[in-house]
Amino acid sequence: MLPIVALVGRPNVGKSTLFNRLLRKSRSITHDLPGVTRDRIYGECIMGETRFDLVDTGGMVLESEATPELSKDFEDEIFEQAQEAINEANAIVFVVDGKEGLTPLDRQAAEFVRRSGKPVLMLINKVDGSEFEAHMTAEFHELGIEFLPVSAAHGYNLHEVRDRVRRFV
Ligand code: GDP
Ligand code: MG
């Protein structure tokens, strides 16, 4: 069995976009679905000599729901999926949204991630222009988790993500 790296974080931070970029495949799992899916999605990553399964976790949100009002049940479901993914993972990539900033759900997710005691890398996504980087990342320091600013959409720092992930699986 390959080592497992789980992508976790609240909905809409860019997990599925990162998943697709890291797999170097264009699997349109964020589009064309008439609802939400709560399942975990697996994809095999090959980075040089390193092979592992990358897992994309739940709470897939429709593009039209830019700022989704999530029901309590749905939030619970997302956390259940994320918790299961964390349990089975060897390492965790915890994704937050630098544009939106730190939210209560991020703090809650960070707590789950920390409690697992597993190696974790936090990606501050949507840092699309380097001029905003320091400003967008500042408030995430309080979580006390090692992080990298990235842009899944533009590919910024994804080489560095590959390097770091390769080292901790
Ligand atoms: P998920 O719910 O965490 O899987 O998030 P998605 O991958 O579905 O992305 C949510 C939204 O954020 C989509 O509209 C993406 O196009 C957008 N998005 C993802 N990555 C970036 C990024 O690096 N920059 C910007 N500006 N938008 C992004
Ligand atoms: Mg998704």
Q: What is the pLDDT of residue 6?
A: 93
State the distance from the centre of ligand 1 to the C-alpha of 65, rounded, in angstroms: 12
| Domain residue limits at 139 | 4-168
CATH number for the domain including 18? 3.40.50.300
Q: What is the pLDDT of residue 130?
A: 77
Joined tokens for residue 138: 């500042």
- Could you say which ligand is closest to the alpha carbon of residue 70? 1
Among the atoms of ligand 1, which is closest to the Cα of residue 11?
Answer: 2
In this structure, the number of other CB atoms found within 10 A of the CB of residue 102 comes to 18
Q: DSSP E strands: which ranges in 9-166?
A: 41-47, 50-56, 91-97, 120-125, 147-149
Q: What is the pLDDT of residue 58?
A: 63
- Could you say which ligand is closest to the alpha carbon of residue 95? 1
pLDDT in tens, the chain (169 residues): 889 999 999 888 999 899 989 886 544 344 333 344 456 788 888 877 888 889 888 644 333 344 455 667 766 776 777 888 899 999 999 999 999 999 988 998 899 899 999 999 999 999 998 778 888 999 999 999 999 999 999 999 999 999 999 888 8
List residues forming the annotated binding site for GTP. 9-16, 56-60, 125-128
User: Residue 131 contacts by C-beta under 8 Å, 6 or more apart in sequence?
Assistant: none
Instruction: Give the chain's domain count.
Output: 1
Residue ranges lining ligand 1, Cβ < 6 Å: 11-17, 30, 60-61, 63, 125-126, 128, 151-153
Q: What is the pLDDT of residue 43?
A: 84
State the distance from the centre of ligand 1 to the C-alpha of 77, rounded, in angstroms: 20
ipTM over the 0.95 cut-off? yes
Report angle CA 109, 110, 112 to the nearest 5 degrees.
65
Q: Whose CA is nearest to atom 24 of ligand 1?
A: 126
State the distance from the centre of ligand 1 to the C-alpha of 166, rounded, in angstroms: 23
